[in-house]
Amino acid sequence: ETEVEIHDFDFPFEGPFGSYDTMQLQRGLKIYTEVCAACHGLERVAFRTLHDETGPALPEDQMRAYAANFEVFDKALADGEGDYRAATPADYYPASSLSNAPDLSLMAKSRAGFHGPYGTGISQFVNGMGGAEYIASLMDGYEEEPACAAEMETPMEGAYNVAFANGGFPDACKDEHGHHTVPGSWIAMPQPLYGDDVEFDDGHEATLESESQDVAAFLMWAAEPKMTARKQAGLTGVIFLSLLSVLLYLTNKRIWAPHK
């Protein structure tokens, strides 16, 4: 089994009262657009949703101008032959342009950062699934190849990443029982972020660690845009049920009072 190093970041959308931080989502959007979109698609996200109040909340004119930067293939154009045109708010992001780079729309929900202990899932119950933590740790997880691999005659393909579990792993880094002696594995994605990869209009810092969290937060929103509404509905439900419990308790006392 592969050991991985996942950090437990404090995201603003965690916990029962958590919600997305608009400014963080806008920073993450910028990082996705300027760095990740070169390889990764976001096929299930419609441009109009960038205007959502509980999402990146781009002003409508900015959202329209942003969409127009993308080209989509429209089958209805050119007498049914189809042609490219600028995207409108109703369109969705394009698919991945690099065939082996997965679409990122649902990535934050399809990966987990926390596991165990011993398959019980208690860590996820306490800390959440950790999809955003996984993505942030992956961005931040590139390290120099461990000595065991650096000495090999044919070098490993890909880059060494301590947060990535499913990549290639050399026999040279296994002990006599086949256990891995170093965390992580080799990933086909070259390190995408180094720090200062983008410049924010408000001068916000762009260290590797903050960029990693910002793009992870954006991808969490992409995968679960209605999280804020879901949490509010849940909280309303809990408050309602608590009140109901009190009333039913008092009613019950009153009904049985004459018989005691």
Q: Are 93 and 70 in contact (CB under 8 A)?
A: yes
Part in contact with ligand HEM (CB under 6 A); list of ranges 6-14, 33-41, 170-178, 233-241? 33-41
Which residue in the set 23, 39, 72, 198 belongs to the binding site for ligand HEM (CB under 6 A)?
39
User: In this chain, which stretch among 1-9, 15-23, 101-109, 252-260 interacts with ligand HEM, using CB under 6 A?
Assistant: 101-109
Residue tagged 């660690």 (tokens) = 209
Between 55 and 167, name the residue whose CB sits nearer to ligand HEM. Answer: 167
Nearer to ligand HEM, 39 or 72 (CB): 39
Q: Is 193 in the site for ligand HEM (CB under 6 A)?
A: yes
Which of residues 58, 215, 217, 220 is near ligand HEM by CB under 6 A?
215
Rounded CA-CA distance 53/22 in Å is: 8
72: amino acid identity, one letter? V
Euclidean distance between the first and final Cα of the chain, in Å? Answer: 63
Report the residue from 65, 76, 98, 243 that binds ligand HEM according to the rule CB under 6 A.
98
Whose CA is closest to 13, among 220, 209, 212? Answer: 220
Examine residue 23 and tell whether it contacts ligand HEM (CB under 6 A). Answer: no
Give yes or no for a contact between 144 and 162, defined as CB atoms under 8 angstroms apart.
no
Query: Which residue shows structure tokens 């070259």?
Result: 190
DSSP letter for 99, please: T
The token pair that represents 32 in the structure block: 């996705």
Hey, what are 101's tokens? 């780079």
Of 10-18, 56-64, 133-141, 223-231, the segment contacting ligand HEM by CB under 6 A is 133-141
Q: Is 138 in the site for ligand HEM (CB under 6 A)?
A: yes
Instruction: Compute how many other C-beta atoms are within 10 angstroms of the C-beta atom of residue 63.
Output: 19
Q: What ranges in 35-173 are assigned the alpha helix state H?
A: 60-67, 107-110, 122-127, 131-139, 147-150
Residue in 3, 15, 38, 90 binding ligand HEM, rule: CB under 6 A: 38
Q: Which residues pair with 73 in a beta bridge?
A: 84
| CB of 226 vs ligand HEM, minimal distance in Å | 21
159 binds ligand HEM (CB under 6 A): no
- In whole angstroms, how close is the CB of 77 to ligand HEM at the nearest point? 30
CB atoms within 10 A of CB 71: 13
Q: Which is nearer to ligand HEM, 167 or 225 (CB)?
A: 167
Residue ranges binding ligand HEM (CB under 6 A): 31, 35-36, 38-40, 98, 100-102, 104, 107, 111, 135, 138-139, 167, 187-190, 192-193, 215
